[in-house]
Amino acid sequence: MVDLSLSLPESLRDFAEEQVARGCYAGPGDYIRELLVQARKRRDEERLEAILIAGLDSGDPVEFTPEYRSKKESEFLARHRAVEDR
């Protein structure tokens, strides 16, 4: 892990210490770490939602059959081999 030093307004420091005093976290650093983890999770969920919406808006649906998967897998492998051969 890497140490990080933060300057916080007194009100935010007090709030973080309140969370620790309530027994929710071992220390202010744990509380801030949890906030960062939650922020990253929200960002990842927003990205996934945008990708899913783009997929829904990308055209007519395609039935995902074993044959379709095999075809797409072959196309992927062919592209991958072409890149490796460069």
CA distance 36 to 56: 30
Burial status of residue 23 (CB atoms within 10 A of its CB: 0-12, 13-18, 19 or more): exposed
Task: Look at the pTM and tell me if it is higher than 0.75.
Answer: no
Residues contacting 34, CB < 8 A, separation 6+: 25
Task: Please say if the pLDDT value at position 62 is more than 90.
Answer: no
The confidence band for 85, taking pLDDT boundaries of 50, 70 and 90, is: confident
Read off the pLDDT of residues 7-60 as tens digits, 9 standing for 90 and up: 999 999 999 999 999 998 999 999 999 999 999 999 999 999 999 999 999 989
